[in-house]
């Protein structure tokens, strides 16, 4: 038999219900203090706070004195890192050689596991043999230490954990030492995950930012991050300026089908928004960035159609025909008597054909350009071939639309005046 009590406990834990009140509070009757009482209470709180800080400072002084005594009693305990020695270089090289001889699937050897065996080999060497064995290894050891301490992380998540662990160790600094701290950390690369971090040990430090810099520490950290990641432009450009800059970098047209596609044969593919409009009319920063990045990455692009290539070929043919017609006309004029060319013809006479010689070629008529089929030309396609509504320029409505038009008054008045005269 299963334990019923255990199931009931599980049901109680997993069951979600609305929280109900179980305390009944009664509104207290408060007495308004006078200005003198408020002032006395403020002085009392200030005196208590000062006394507490003085007592805490005395305790910290006692702890510091005991720490100094312990340091004198145990002088080998120090916070500074030891200098690299030839023994460290020899130990590091031996461990590397052992790990290089192992198979890839075998666990790697640690220095603490083989330190005694390597120490026996090191102590058996003479001083000159130690120098010869570590020749060139000291620089490698120094580079290894600098790489661990100062080299930048290759993976952003490693930088994130390193920064978080370092900042957590500073959280209790003010409580231990009594000093006031203002710490602002920002990322230097946009690929990192850390947000601007501001740590203030006391409210007075934040008030100093307000009085001296006329802005909050969080705003100051945001500007500092913009400067560290993008330079001066990240500090001086605000939301509106960056918004206008994005709009000016985008190619846009009104009546795109008529102005671009019909005249130049250029179409737009993979427009990501539902409506094709002037970027100045886009009211969302997110949509402007979508369009801007789509053009930069090549997802949305302009390209020529076969219709445009056909127009170019027809224009070339027309130009060739024009040159041939001019050449024929020059040959005809060369075979005509110059005295006939100087005779002026009356304006109302019909044009007469001029007889040419047998060697002259007949005049070729210019071929008319094929007209573009009338109809709706869609030069914009969305993702997957979806239709995109194109913004059209609205024309002004006539003021006399829908009104019955009659005879003009000026014409009637001029006719009546002529009849009376």
Polymer length in residues for the chain: 421
| Closest of 259, 262, 284 to residue 393, by C-alpha | 259
Residue with tokens 């602002």: 184
Rg (CA), the chain: 45
Q: How many CA atoms lie within 13 A of 37 on its CB side?
A: 4
| Closest of 163, 167, 199 to residue 181, by C-alpha | 199
Phi/psi of residue 270, each to 5°?
60, 50
Residues 56-103: pLDDT tens digits? 999 999 999 998 888 888 877 666 667 788 888 888 888 888 888 888
Q: What percent of the chain has pLDDT over 90?
A: 8
Residue 46 — left, alpha, or beta (φ > 0 → left; ψ -120 to 50 → alpha)? alpha
- The set of residues, in sequence order, having a beta carbon less than 8 Å from that of 58 and lying 6+ positions away, is none
Residues 372-385: pLDDT tens digits? 444 445 566 666 55
* C-alpha dist (Å) from residue 412 to 218, 266, 418, 421: 79, 53, 10, 15
Predicted confidence (pLDDT) at residue 347 exceeds the cutoff of 70 = no
Calculate the dihedral angle through the C-alpha atoms of 51, 53, 59, 65, rounding to the nearest 10 degrees: -120
**In DSSP terms, which residues pair with 301 in a beta bridge?**
269
Let me know the angle formed at the C-alpha of 365 by 361 and 370, rounded to the nearest 5 degrees.
145
- The set of residues, in sequence order, having a beta carbon less than 8 Å from that of 257 and lying 6+ positions away, is 376, 377, 378, 379, 380, 390
Predicted confidence (pLDDT) at residue 325 exceeds the cutoff of 50 = yes
Other CB atoms within 10 Å distance of the CB of residue 320: 10
Let me know the angle formed at the C-alpha of 246 by 244 and 247, rounded to the nearest 5 degrees.
65
210-219 contacts, C-beta under 8 A, 24 or more apart: 217/182, 217/184
Average pLDDT over residues 107-120: 88
| Closest of 119, 112, 114 to residue 86, by C-alpha | 119
Q: What percent of the chain has pLDDT over 70?
A: 54
Residue pair 199/171 in contact (Cβ under 8 Å)? The answer is yes
Position 198 scores a pLDDT of 85
Position 47 scores a pLDDT of 94
Average pLDDT over residues 204-214: 85
How does residue 234 score in pLDDT terms, banded at 50, 70 and 90? low
Predicted confidence (pLDDT) at residue 393 exceeds the cutoff of 90 = no
Q: Token pair of 273, please?
A: 């928004």
Calculate the dihedral angle through the C-alpha atoms of 150, 152, 158, 161, rounding to the nearest 10 degrees: 50
How does residue 349 score in pLDDT terms, banded at 50, 70 and 90? very low
């Amino acid at each position: 038999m299963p334990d019923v009590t255990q199931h009931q406990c599980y049901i109680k834990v997993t069951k979600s219900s609305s929280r109900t009140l179980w305390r009944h509070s009664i509104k207290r009757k408060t007495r308004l203090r006078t200005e003198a009482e408020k002032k006395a209470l403020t002085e009392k709180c200030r005196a208590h706070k000062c006394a507490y800080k003085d007592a805490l400072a005395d305790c910290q002084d006692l702890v510091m004195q005991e720490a100094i005594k312990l340091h004198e009693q145990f002088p080998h305990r120090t916070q500074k890192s030891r200098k690299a020695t030839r023994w460290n270089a020899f130990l590091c090289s031996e461990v590397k050689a052992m790990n290089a001889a192992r198979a890839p699937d075998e666990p790697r050897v640690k220095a603490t596991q083989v330190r005694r065996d390597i120490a026996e080999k090191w102590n058996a060497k003479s001083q000159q043999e130690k120098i010869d064995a570590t020749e060139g290894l000291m620089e490698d050891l120094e580079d290894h230490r600098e790489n661990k301490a100062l080299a930048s992380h290759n993976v952003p998540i490693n930088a994130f954990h390193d920064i978080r662990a370092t900042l957590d160790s500073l959280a209790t600094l003010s409580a231990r030492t009594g000093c006031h701290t203002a710490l602002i950390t920002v990322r230097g690369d946009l690929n990192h995950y850390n947000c601007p971090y501001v740590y203030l040990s006391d409210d007075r430090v934040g008030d100093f930012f307000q009085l001296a810099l006329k802005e909050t520490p969080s705003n100051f950290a945001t500007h500092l991050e913009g400067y560290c990641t993008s330079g001066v432009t990240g500090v001086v450009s605000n939301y509106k300026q960056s918004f206008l800059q994005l709009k000016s970098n985008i190619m846009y047209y009104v009546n795109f089908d008529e102005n671009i596609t019909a005249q130049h044969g250029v179409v737009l593919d993979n427009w990501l928004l539902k409506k094709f409009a002037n970027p100045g009319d886009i009211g969302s920063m997110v949509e402007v960035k979508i369009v801007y990045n789509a053009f930069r990455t090549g997802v949305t692009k302009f390209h020529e159609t076969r219709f445009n290539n056909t127009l170019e070929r027809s224009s070339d043919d027309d130009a060739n025909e024009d040159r041939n017609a001019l050449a024929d006309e020059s040959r005809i004029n060369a075979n005509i008597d110059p005295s006939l060319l100087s005779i002026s013809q009356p304006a109302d006479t019909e044009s007469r054909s001029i007889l040419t010689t047998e060697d002259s070629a007949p005049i070729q008529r210019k071929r008319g350009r094929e007209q573009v089929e009338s109809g709706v030309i869609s030069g914009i396609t969305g993702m997957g071939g979806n239709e995109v509504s194109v913004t059209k320029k609205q024309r002004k409505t006539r003021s006399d639309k829908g009104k019955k038009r009659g005879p003009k008054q000026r014409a009637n008045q001029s006719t009546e005046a002529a009849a009376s005269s």
